[in-house]
Amino acid sequence: MAQTSISQPVTGSSATYSTRSYLRDGLLIVSAALMAVTLYMVFMWVPTEQNLGVSQRIFYFHVPLGWIGMLSIVVVAVASLMHLITGKEKWDSLAYATAELGVIFATLILVTGAIWARPVWGVWWTWDAKLTTTLVLWFIYVGYLMIRAYGPSGTQGKRYASVIALIGAIDSPIIYKATDWWRTAHPERNVPSDLASEMLLTLLVAVVTFTVLYAYLLVERYSLRKSESDLDELHQRTA
């Protein structure tokens, strides 16, 4: 097989790379601006909750982190399904990048939740249904990455991980509905219906901010994944 010239990019085109760079820079600027607005709203604008005091402000970080944690596993599952159907590398790269972000967000959900639980419930951790199913989600993410790291190399390892991601996505609706199905320490609704309008607006802005930040991190990690693929390809050529 004839080798391609090294003057050409290993994968994609320079136009694709610059488009991705513009997207990445744009998302970074937008997420930084939105984060500034969110911090202003959380610390300066929104009123302090009467019963929980200042610790209730953790809510504006904890809930968006939870949303992203659940969104990530759905993205991983969809990308994994597309990889299983089409066999295309880009879907696998997307699933891998999202799973790594999922671990970070799931860890932050658990940590921020534990810190919030201590002053409000008096304990760092309790085997509440919502907490337990979130911990299961964290294990699913870690399991996915461990299969990628220590499982069979090549397409077989990718397929194993894809199937784990598909099974793991079942946990997402269970976490969401945990407060409806079981008696838990969490409020019955994920967002209370009697939330003051200022608090609801702050929460919505925080959710949008974290979603944009997540998109930025995803583009960044996906680019890195592409660079890793390029490097592997170059190593194969030079071998």
Partner 1 sequence: MNFIKELRRGLGLRASTVIVLVALVLTVSTLLTTVGAFDGQPQTAPSTIPEPSEHANDPEANLPFLFAVYMITWGAFFAYIFYLSRRQREMQGEIDALKRALDQREQAEAQSQSES
C-alpha 196/C-alpha 205 separation (Å) is 14
Q: Which residues pair with 49 in a beta bridge?
A: 53
Does position 132 interact with partner 1 (CB under 8 A)? The reply is yes
Task: Report phi then psi at 170, rounded to 5.
Answer: -60, -30
Does position 54 interact with partner 1 (CB under 8 A)? The reply is yes
Contact 91, 80 (CB under 8 A): yes
Residue among 197, 213, 231, 196 at smallest CA distance from 28: 213
C-alpha 116/C-alpha 110 separation (Å) is 10
Stretch 177-216: interaction string toward partner 1, x if CB under 8 A: ----xxxxx---------------------------x---
* Residue from 142, 160, 201, 211 in contact with partner 1 (CB under 8 A): 160
* Residue from 29, 33, 36, 234 in contact with partner 1 (CB under 8 A): 234
* Residue from 37, 143, 176, 215 in contact with partner 1 (CB under 8 A): 143
Cα angle 13, 16, 20; round to 5:
145
Does position 19 interact with partner 1 (CB under 8 A)? The reply is no
* Residue from 19, 189, 196, 237 in contact with partner 1 (CB under 8 A): 237
* Residue from 30, 78, 104, 195 in contact with partner 1 (CB under 8 A): 104
C-alpha 1/C-alpha 130 separation (Å) is 55
Neighbours of 76 (CB within 10 A): 29
C-alpha 184/C-alpha 34 separation (Å) is 33
Interface residues toward partner 1, by CB under 8 A: 5-7, 10, 48, 51-55, 57-58, 61-62, 65, 84-85, 104, 107-108, 111-112, 115-116, 118-123, 126-129, 132, 136, 143, 147, 155-156, 159-160, 163-164, 167-168, 170-171, 174, 181-185, 213, 217, 220-221, 223-224, 227-228, 230-231, 234-235, 237-238
